[in-house]
Each structure stands twice: as structure tokens, then as C-alpha cells.
Structure 1
């Protein structure tokens, strides 16, 4: 094991102690392993003390030139993920992805410099963050959302479950991981609220659902109790917790069958946008979404198209409202 590989393992143990999610830990490890491989192959560097700012800048340039999935952190992963078969194989890496790579590399070297004192100088100290190109997230039309919901076969357990997950995500703005971790005890059907606990910091918040969704949740829970005694509100047919990738595939397949491109986070995004377009306020939305501040919420969702702004204006026009 080289010095830099040892430092990576040490870093991952540190991150695990911070109760970061499995997804975050996997992203950290994969990103840094790719950087380690580049340092070894291109510069014969195996010691963290030899890494300079120039190596980091050249690596960013290398990412921009190499294309998606052309390099992997572990060769064995090719036999599982088959990157060569992807439709976007070799296409340009997005600025958002590159920005995330740089951010994770910075976290790694900050750890080595400030916490472990393994390096005297941080090679990332003077490297500026990359500002990703912001793409406007598509607001799905009501008819598109209705087509997706109707695409689920609600005569089957998993089809009905996926329909209910989709409906709840759209009505509450829950993250998919939060939704799939729900238990019936978290629901208050009388006050139409759901108690959500953040597994990272144990902070709690309430989200709310409509009377229509409340009636459907009652029916779902009766149906679920007949087929399963699982701890979870939306379990698998075996009673275990449904994992986000499985639901994401089901949602994408349902969307594809009715010619609608959709993914779980898009439901959260559409909830937030429709909430604002229908007259909701930013402060309340920020609380519902579980953001740390209103500024974070606005930064994430203040990307309305001209058409969306025009429609909102027509609803809230002073001349129209005052009947002038």
C-alpha cells in the first residue's frame, strides 16, 4: 500500500465517523481513487507530500479532455457497471461533476493539512472553486405528471407502492431517501403531517400532505397491512426497505412508457416550483424542504423560465387583483 492509499483509507475512516451517508462516502472514495490513479500513471506520485497545486490543475484539465466513464477507480467495477455500454460513454464531463471532483479533492487535502498535519502546505489552497453552469430544471406540466402516475400498474403491490411514493414525493417535497425510510408511526393522518428525522444530525422537521393524499395514504396502509407486516411504509415485497435506485428505475420506466423524462429529485424540484408559482412563500418552503436558510432554497430553485414567470405574473398582477 502506497502512502497516498494509506492516507485515503485514513480519510475514509474519519468520514465514516462523521456519519456521512453511504452515497457520500462512496462518492468521496471513488473521486479520490481516480485522482490517485492519475497521479500514479501520469506523474509517478505515490506520496501525498509530493502533490502540488499544478498536479491538481492538470488533473482538472485531464478530466475535461478524457470524457465520461473512460477511467474507473477500480478495474473490477467494469464487470459490474459496464461503462463501455453507456449511451453517454466518452461524452464531455459536466462542469457540475468537475466542480464536485475538485470540492472532494479539496476536502481530502484540507483533512491532511488541518486535521492530520500530514502535509505542511495544502496544494489546493489557492485553487479557485469551479462555478458550474446552471441548467434550468424542467417544470413538468400537470398532464405529464398525470400520465406518469397513470403509468403505474396499481393492481400489483410494487406498482401501487411506486404510485404512492411518487404521489407523496410530489405532494410533500420529501427527498427520496427520507420517503423510503418512513414508518407508519411517522404519519399523523388527522393533522396531515409527517415527522422527518435527518439521520445525519438527528434534526427533525414536519412536512405536510393534502387531504387527497391523506385519503390515498389510508387506503395504501390498509392494503399494505394485508400483504406485509414490514416496519416500513413503502417496503419491498419481502418486507425490507426499498432502496432509492430501485424506485428511481421504476419511475424512469414509467415516465419512458408515456414519453416523459423524470427522476425522483425532479419531483422535489417540481413541488418547490409549483409551491412558489401557486403563491407560497420562500420562508415556509425552506422549512418544508429542510434547508438551512431561505438563501439555500432560493439558490436551489430560483431558476424559473420566462414562461413560468409570465404565468405567475398574470395571477398576481396588481391591476388584475385590484380590479383597476
Structure 2
């Protein structure tokens, strides 16, 4: 094991002690191991103390040039995943992805410099994250949402389940992982709320649902109880927990049938935008989404189109409510 590999392991243990999510840790490990491989191949560097700012700048350039899935951490994985068969193989890596890699590398070297004192100088101190051009989150119209929902075959167990999951995501703003981990007892019909215990930031919270969703959930629970004794609210027909990727595919396929590009996080985005457009406030939205601050929520969703702002204005125009 090289010094660099040892320090990656040390850093991952540190992350575990901080109780970071598996997804966050997986992102760190992938980014660092790929960077480690690059330094070894290009500069024969195997020690963290030998990494210089110029090496990181060269790596950013390398990421821009190399294309997607052309480099893997474990060569044997190519025999399993067959990256060359992907439709986006060798396509340009997005600036957002590169920014994530750079951010993860900076966290690693900040740890080595500030926490462990393993290096005399932080090579990332003068590295700026690539500027990511913000893309406006597309708002689906009610008509588009209806079209997608009609594509689920509610006469089948999985079709009806996916239909209810889609409505619930749109009505509550939950993340798909949070939704698929729910148990029936998570839902409180008296207060029309759901207790989310497996949130991304480890902070439990409540989300809320409408009377329409309450009725749909009750119907689903009755139906589910006839065909499954699974502990999960939205299980597979075998009773196991439904995997995120399988629901993602079902939703994507439903959208493609009616010419609409859609994914689970888009439902969360649309919940947030409609919540504000319908008169909701940023503070309560922040609590419902499980963000750390209102500023985080505003940065994520403060991208309304001119048409959306115009409609919101008509609802809240001062003169509309004045007898003058």
C-alpha cells in the first residue's frame, strides 16, 4: 500500500467517525482513488506530501479532455460494467461533475493539512472550484404530470405502487430514497404527516400530505395488505425493499411513452416550486425539504421563469387586495 492509498483509507475512517452518509463517502473514495491513479501513472507520485498545486490543475485539464467512463479505479470492473457500451461513453464530463471531484480532493487535503498535519503545505489552497453554470430546473405542467401518471398500469401491483409513489413524491417533496424506506406506521393520517427517519443529513423530520394523498395512501395500504406482508410501505411483489434504480426506470419509461423527460428528483423540485408559486413561504419549505438553512433552499430553487414570476405577481399584487 502506497502512502497516498494509506492516507485515503485514513481519511475514509475519519469520514466514518463523522457519520457521513454512504453516498457522500462513496463520492469521496471514488474521486480520491481516481486522482491517486492519475498521479501514479502520470507523475509517479505515491506520497501525499509530493502533490503540488500544478498537479491538481493538470488533473482538472485531464478530466476535461478524457471523456466519461474512460478511466476506472479497478480495471476488472470493465468486464462487468462494460462502460464502452454506454451511450455517453467518451462524452465530455460535465463541469458539475468536475467541480464535485475538485471539491472532494480539496476536502481530503484540508483534512491532511488542518486535521492530521501530515503535509507542510496545502496544494489545494489556491485551487478554485470550476464555475458551474446554473441550469434552470424545469417545471412540469399539471397536464404533463397527468400524462405521466396515466402510463402506470394500476391493475398490477407494481404499476399501482409506482403510481402512488409518484403522487406522494410530488405532494411531499421527499427524496426517493426516503420514500422507499418508509414503513406503513410512518404515516399519521390524523395530522396528515409522515415521519422521515432516514434523511440524507441524518436529521429526522416530518413531511405533510394533502387529503387527496391521504385517500390514495389508505387505498394503497388496503391493496398492499392483500398481496404482501412486507414491512415496507412500497415493497416489491416479493416483499423486499424497492430499489431506487428500479423506480427511476419505471418513471423514466412512463415519461418516454408520452415524450416527457422525468426523474424522481424532478418531482421534489416541482413540489418546491409549486409550493412557493402557490403562496408557501421559504422557511416552512426549508423545514419540509430537510435543508440546513433557508439560504440553501433559496439557492436550490430560486430560478423561476419570467412566466412563473408573472403568475405569482398576479396572485400577490398590492392593488388586487386594495379597494382603490
Q: What TM-score does the superposition give when structure 2 sets the normalisation length?
A: 0.95
**Counterpart Cα distance in 1 of 2:81 and 2:156:** 29
**Counterpart Cα distance in 2 of 1:58 and 1:318:** 55
Which segment is superposed worse, 77-86 or 130-139?
A: 77-86
Which segment is superposed worse, 156-165 or 124-133?
A: 124-133
Q: Does structure 2 retain, via aligned residues, the 8 Å contact 1:19–1:200?
A: no
How far apart are 1:199 and its partner, in Å? Answer: 5.3
Q: Does structure 2 retain, via aligned residues, the 8 Å contact 1:229–1:239?
A: yes
Q: Does structure 1 retain, via aligned residues, the 8 Å contact 2:68–2:92?
A: yes
CA RMSD of aligned residues (A): 1.6
| Matched pairs, number | 324
Corresponding residue for 1:221? 221
How far apart are 1:21 and its partner, in Å? Answer: 2.3
**Counterpart Cα distance in 2 of 1:200 and 1:143:** 31
Q: Which digits, 9 at most, give the CA deviation of each residue in 1:275-320, with x for residues without a partner? A: 1111111111111111111111000000111121122222222333
**Counterpart Cα distance in 2 of 1:174 and 1:105:** 30
Q: Which digits, 9 at most, give the CA deviation of each residue in 1:20-47, with x for residues without a partner? A: 2222222111111111111111111111
Corresponding residue for 1:284? 284
Where does the alignment leave 5 or more consecutive residues of structure 2 unmatched?
none
Corresponding residue for 2:38? 38
**Counterpart Cα distance in 1 of 2:307 and 2:62:** 39
Corresponding residue for 1:167? 167
Alignment of 1:189-204 (within 5 A): 189-198=189-198, 202-204=202-204
**Counterpart Cα distance in 2 of 1:215 and 1:87:** 42
Q: Which digits, 9 at most, give the CA deviation of each residue in 1:85-140, with x for residues without a partner? A: 22222222211111111110011112222222222221112212333110001001
**Counterpart Cα distance in 1 of 2:200 and 2:262:** 27
Q: Which digits, 9 at most, give the CA deviation of each residue in 1:208-261, with x for residues without a partner? A: 100010000001001111111111111122212212112111111111111110
**Counterpart Cα distance in 1 of 2:81 and 2:278:** 42
**Counterpart Cα distance in 1 of 2:86 and 2:323:** 56
Q: Does structure 1 retain, via aligned residues, the 8 Å contact 2:181–2:198?
A: no
- SS of 1:151's equivalent in the other structure is coil
**Counterpart Cα distance in 2 of 1:4 and 1:66:** 23
**Counterpart Cα distance in 2 of 1:86 and 1:150:** 30
Corresponding residue for 2:157? 157
Corresponding residue for 2:236? 236
Q: Does structure 2 retain, via aligned residues, the 8 Å contact 1:20–1:200?
A: no
Q: Does structure 2 retain, via aligned residues, the 8 Å contact 1:173–1:268?
A: yes
Where does the alignment leave 5 or more consecutive residues of structure 1 unmatched?
none
Corresponding residue for 1:310? 310
Is 1:19 matched with 2:19? yes
Q: Does structure 1 retain, via aligned residues, the 8 Å contact 2:173–2:268?
A: yes
